[in-house]
Chains A and B, each alone.
Chain A
Amino acid sequence: MSSVTGQQQLLQWLKPEEPSDYERDCAKMIEPVDYVIYFEKLNLILAEAMDVLVKCGISDMSLSGDVSVVVCTAEGDPVSCNLGTYLHVISSVLPVKYIIRQLRNDSSVGIHEGDFFFCNDPLYGNVHNPDQIIMMPIFHDGTLLAWAAATAHTNETGATEPGGMPVRARSRYDEGMHLSPIRLGERYKFRRDLLSMMENFASRSPRTFLIDLRSRVSCCDRVRIRIKELVQKKGPDFLTGLFRYILMTAESSARDRIRGWNDGIYRAVVFTDSIGLEEGLQRVSLTLTKAGDNLLFDFTGTSPEHEGSYHAFPHTVVAHAAIYLFGWPFYDLPRCTGTLASCEFTFPPGTVFSPREEAASSNSVIICSTVMSLLPQCFSKLMFDSPQRDLVGASMGNTGSGYIISGTNQWGLPETSMLAYPLNTEGGGGRVDSDGVDAMGFPWCPAGKAPNVEDEEHSYPIVCVSQKYARDSCGFGRYCGGLGTQFAIMPLLVDYLALMLVSKNSRLHTTQGLFGGYPPRVIPGVIIRNTDLLERWASGDVELPDDIHDLIAKRALAGEYCFTAHYRPTELLRKDDIFVGFSSGGAGYGDVLERDPASVIADLRNGKISNWVAKHVYCIVYDPETLKLDLDGSNKRREEMRIERCQNGLPYRHFIKNWSKHKPPEEILRYYGRWPDAQPNRNIFRL
């Protein structure tokens, strides 16, 4: 197939446009005090618009933060945003620039006051087709001045499985609705014909789809109204100058910061255990070169594309890099293309990050969680010897426990949704001076929030059996990662629900620890079939464990306990079945033997870790009944462990001689590429 936009073209569009003479002249009129005041004014406009977006929307993903609203220059460069997630700041750029370049001067389309456009096709810049964007041009006296763009994740696309992220997709033809940029509205009104077409695509969940779609339009219109008020007050030249000043300031500030970091090459490698369709080892590799005020991100060495659904296009990888870059090293700079102007990205063709256009990509966020693990690895080593040392830390959990339920809800309406609690409660990574935050949030959405039990039980035909921290789920270290959570539901008021798990991390974890800290534990898929829970609740049984680990280990309920991989294709969850899910804790930082023994005791008291971990990992000595620490005994025990390390560790050459003889079983390596360098080693056919 052919698309109008190529992968390299999209990457080039992420660079800020060259300023026109008019823009340069306008920028010269902006005083620093104007920048400070009116940049904040833009932020307030966008905060108000975000309120509109969230309050008018109804999907779990909108409410929990998988959203953004962006204001862009007339030529499509974002200058400020409110979120949600930084993903959509990047993905907003590309469809807007496509409209400007391909549709503005096309006599059959054009751009007019009162228009609004829609796009959800990754080949035109979206992250994946559930992430859907509305773009609205903002005019003043007939001149295009700016764009507003609002994006939200929508849980239905008419794909082969419910939920918009079909794990069994083999190509884009299994993924449902892909719409290139189209004019969905004119003169501030929806086009009824197109709206009906889209409603039919999303017929598993039309109500949520339509309400969330309208919320995006309302959000953009609020930006339009406020920007026009600003222009009435300050004039169009001021707005144009302000926008360009923001882009220029962002770029120069980012370059100044980069110059303070040590020149060199930083490498990291992580692995995943699923391609969506089935299990398989894949490698994702990053070589980050820092020279002067430039950063080069090279993903050579990443495993080849495959027949499954866990792919992403290059601009989507950049969008995931932006989550870290805007969230950490450049947290205080404008979230705009100017800040990233110093970053170059390289992708050899044919990898999971640069597949052919037919490849399925609706689960791009799952494979791209590797990027969110690679960047903290490299940047922590880049920034340690710099004024940004306080930003050093291990990565968040980055599992992405995407649990989708679908069916007829308790009010008789068709409904498909992704349960947002596990997604929004992954642990933060251990940091240079402190533990990671427990259930910190949604790694993709720094401003996301987890719904509470009552919200979930009100929204969906389910009862929550458990929803709380998960013991031992953090990565261990001198500063441990924050805890992840446990979550268990069963259908209520309906006979069944369709259930699909979009995830990974059952065999190994995507993240790595940092500076001697460990990655978090892995997560199985767990369903307990045909339980007696409702019966025992009805009889007043209060002896049931309230912790899922204990429930599973002790088989405390009657029923069939099914343990599988953490990704699961669509299946039925019937009455009396319990689905058990987990989010990941964050990765650990530093040597476990350097964790303050008193902190380990506190972890035990708080239920954060088990006795097994305190004894075998942190190697402290204490009374298990009273939790009284034996400090001298702990120090002695730890010294013994350090001596044991020196006795059992091998010098590099001896270690490599033995280690290099090992290799994973062939059935694991089917999708890896050539061992060990992951070069493409077979042809991929898609129908």
Chain B
Amino acid sequence: MKVRITESLDIDLVKELWCCNRCGHELISARLNYKEGCLIRARHPLAVYQPVVEGRPYTFAPDPDWCRIVEFYCPQCGVMLENECLPPGHPITHDIELNLESLKLKHGLHG
């Protein structure tokens, strides 16, 4: 039994697994950070933002000394499940830590 938790993440309540909502790929235990089951890439801001002004530092594009765009992909279908704009080396956020027992009860599963 799958429950949709975000735009592109499900939880299989019986198997207690995070799954990709797009392709069904089983990512990792639902008791862990789903990002640990993703492929991850840190991208330079200029990959996403075009500088209007040439040269640094004030160009309309984020400064790479200050941040990188860390992207989390489904290993099977490549959909971007989430991204974080983080200073280089900053820890990854464990953004969703659900109470699985409570979630099972809510959806009619016991124990």
Which residues of A are in contact with B by a Cβ distance under 8 Å? 262-269, 271, 273, 281, 283, 291, 377-378, 380-381, 384-385, 432, 472, 476, 478, 506-509, 512-519, 521-525, 549, 552-553, 563-565, 589-594, 610, 612-613, 616-617, 641-646, 648-652, 655-656, 659-665, 668, 676
Contacts and interface: CB of A to CB of B under 8 A. Distances in A.
B99 A264 contact: yes
Contact of A267 (B36, B52, B89, B95): B95
Contact of B42 (A380, A652, A659): A659
Contact of A518 (B69, B75, B97): B69
Contact of A593 (B80, B85, B92): B80
Contact of A652 (B8, B40, B58, B96): B40
B95 A381 contact: yes
Contacts of B78: 641-646
A662 B89 contact: yes
B1 interface: no
B4, B57, B60, B62: which has the most chain A beta carbons within 10 Å?
B60
A676 B67 contact: no
A619 B71 CA distance: 17
B53 A553 contact: yes
A380, A506, A659, A662: which has the most chain B beta carbons within 10 Å?
A659
A646 B75 contact: yes
B6 A650 contact: no
B49 A521 contact: yes
A345 to B, nearest CB: 20
Interface of B: 3-8, 35-42, 47-50, 52-53, 57-63, 65-67, 69-71, 73, 75-99, 102-103, 106
A508 B53 contact: no
A390 B42 CA distance: 31
Contacts of A273: 66
A273 B57 CA distance: 13
Contacts of A553: 52-53
Contacts of A644: 78
Contact of A525 (B35, B58, B79): B58
B53 A524 contact: yes
Contact of B61 (A521, A552, A616): A521
Contacts of A549: 52
B81 to A, nearest CB: 6
Contacts of B71: 516, 645, 649
Given A262-B99, A271-B87, A676-B89, A649 B39 contact: yes
Contacts of B63: 507-508, 522
B58 to A, nearest CB: 3
Contacts of B88: 659, 662-664
B50 to A, nearest CB: 5
A127 to B, nearest CB: 27
A649 B38 CA distance: 8
Contacts of A514: 7
Given A593-B80, A655-B40, A662-B88, A264 B98 contact: yes
A454 B25 CA distance: 57
B39 A656 contact: no
B90 to A, nearest CB: 5
Contacts of A612: 50
A264 B5 CA distance: 12
B42 to A, nearest CB: 6
The 8 closest A-B pairs by CB, nearest first: A649-B39, A642-B78, A524-B58, A662-B89, A662-B88, A516-B80, A515-B7, A263-B99
Nearest to A646: B78
Given A524-B53, A553-B53, A646-B73, A512 B60 contact: no
Contact of B98 (A262, A516, A643, A665): A262
Contacts of A660: 89, 91
A516 B89 CA distance: 20
Contacts of A384: 4-7
Contact of A515 (B6, B37, B38, B93): B6
18 contacts: A262-B98, A264-B99, A266-B97, A271-B67, A507-B63, A508-B66, A508-B67, A508-B87, A515-B6, A517-B83, A521-B61, A525-B58, A549-B52, A552-B52, A591-B8, A644-B78, A648-B41, A652-B36
A281 B86 CA distance: 11
A523 B73 contact: no
A499 to B, nearest CB: 17
Contacts of B3: 385
A552 B7 contact: no
Nearest to A525: B58
Contacts of A593: 79-80
A641 B48 CA distance: 14
A657 B36 CA distance: 13
A195 B2 CA distance: 65
A71 to B, nearest CB: 38
Given A563-B53, A590-B8, A645 B66 contact: no
A618 to B, nearest CB: 11
Contact of A664 (B4, B75, B89, B92): B89
Given A512-B85, A590-B8, A668-B65, A645 B106 contact: no
B8 A262 contact: no
B41 A650 contact: yes
A263, A512, A644, A645: which has the most chain B beta carbons within 10 Å?
A645
